[in-house]
Amino acid sequence: MAISKRVCVVLVAILLVSQRFASAEELPTVERASFPKDFVFGTATAAYQYEGAATEGGKGLSIWDTFTHRPGVIAGNTTGDIAVDQYHRYAEDLWLLKDLNMDAYRFSISWSRIFPKGVGEVNWEGVKYYDMLIKHLLELNIEPYITLYHWDMPQALEDSIGGWLSPDIVDAFTRYARFCFERWGPRVKYWITFNEIHSFANAGYSSGEHAPGRCTPPKCSAGNSNTEPYIVSHHALLSHAHTVDMYRKEFKDAQKGVIGITTDCTWYTPLNSSSNSDQRAAQEAIEGFLGWYLDPIFFGDYPASMRASLGSNLPTFTPKQVELIKGSQDFVGINHYSSMYATFNETNGEIIKTGYKDGVPIGGVTPSDWLFVAPSGMRKLLGWVRERYNNPIVYVTENGRDESNKDESLPLADQLKDPERIEYYHDYLQNVLLAIKDGSDVRGYFAWSLMDNFEWAVGFTVRFGIYYVDYKNGLARYPKSSAYWFQEILKRTENLS
């Protein structure tokens, strides 16, 4: 695309977005200079969704490597065996990131690429890949933000001990984390223990839609949807707590880094705003989503509303574990995409979560039935975190929207147009700015995602990328309109704050 057309795309997009607010109250301009000094902009990715090379370079299998090869569990029976082949193309892809004027890159390490069996012998060829990835990032002056676990449990640990269902996983995870700190800690200053425990606990052990595909029979061959998500979450939280404790005692002073956890949450609003019952439903929905993980980290126990509704199905922390987990964060990562309504089911008292009220969606609909475009939810969720947890340091570690695959008969230039994504990013970033104005200590924002990729159970049927990946023609990467928009708003102009 010629430079003149690139500028035209950006200016038209900015004009369209600004016109929507011309008659509204004055709202902040979305550009780098509007954010606090040293605010970090980046994109987020995950190993299984990006790397490919599933059996190359000594890598062991993960639960996603095996799960995706079961017929019928992934849309189109696709897999992440190749994904977008970042294992071989990382140098090219990091230049794409640099071209966006981004400051940071959030990626995850494949546990089984480092330890093929989950523990024991190190795969040094896999280590070399991450050595080079980090080296290239730093040479480009891009800060690495490393997630230790983004859903890809080594299959060997799943087979030998039951993965997250076993308390023995805590020791295995901390051993893996120790190696990562020892190897890359001198160069990496930002660590995230887990990405979205809520997602892999529920989709992997309640609905069975994600690896390892467990839920109550007969829907799944094995599992217990009433207990296993809570056991899995409990062991993951204990793994987080032990890892943070180890990092602080053995590495933090020398390496000068920070460590936190990334959680996800939909914002819930009462179906009937004047109903006390619906207000309580919305509050308990957030507590059972975000509070499930952050309440133990900040207060030492699960939310009281979860204790009341789940009873003995919810595990307990020992006094020693409470001491270990409470305060186990230097920052909190928040992944936020969507908002929904909440109300109680009058028959069984369970919370109903829905994107519709009287047939009208809460926000713009997308190809994903869980993702509604409701930007004010970002500000409200960040405010909820600020008020409940005494204003912790927060990074928005994922935010973005999908689009369907477009008609491949269209010219490529038309397939690269994504005005709805520009609008989404603008409006959600504007609400990040409003949250900061409210007093939230938000330090950074990571867009999901750098480019189109393997999106778990829906495979390659939707696209979240700022860069387009041509799956039919050698995985070629092309900038979408949103890429030029990010280039423009993140120009390195003087920050006035």
Show which residues are catalytic: 196, 398
Residue whose structure tokens are 């109250």: 25
Q: What's the token pair of residue 23?
A: 């008659």
On whether the CB atoms of residues 463 and 403 are closer than 8 A, the answer is: yes
Q: Indicate the residue type of 341.
A: Y
Helix 228-250 with 292-299: angle, nearest 10 deg: 40
Residue 352's SS3 state is strand
User: How many C-alpha atoms does 1 have within 13 Å on its Cβ side?
Assistant: 19
Distance between terminal CA atoms of the chain? 35
Q: Which residues 6+ apart lie within 8 Å of 117 measured at CB?
A: 60, 154, 156, 157
Q: Which residues 6+ apart lie within 8 Å of 94 measured at CB?
A: 105, 133, 136, 137, 140, 142
Q: Which residues 6+ apart lie within 8 Å of 143 measured at CB?
A: 40, 42, 103, 104, 105, 137, 189, 190
Q: In Å, how far are 5, 54, 179, 429 from 127, measured between CA atoms?
A: 42, 15, 10, 35
Beta carbons within 10 angstroms of residue 379's beta carbon: 21
On whether the CB atoms of residues 494 and 33 are closer than 8 A, the answer is: yes
How far apart, in whole angstroms, are the C-alpha atoms of residue 34 and residue 51? 34
b or e along 136-162 (b: 16 or more beta carbons within 10 Å of the residue's beta carbon)?
bbeeeebbbbbbbbbbbbbbbbbeebb
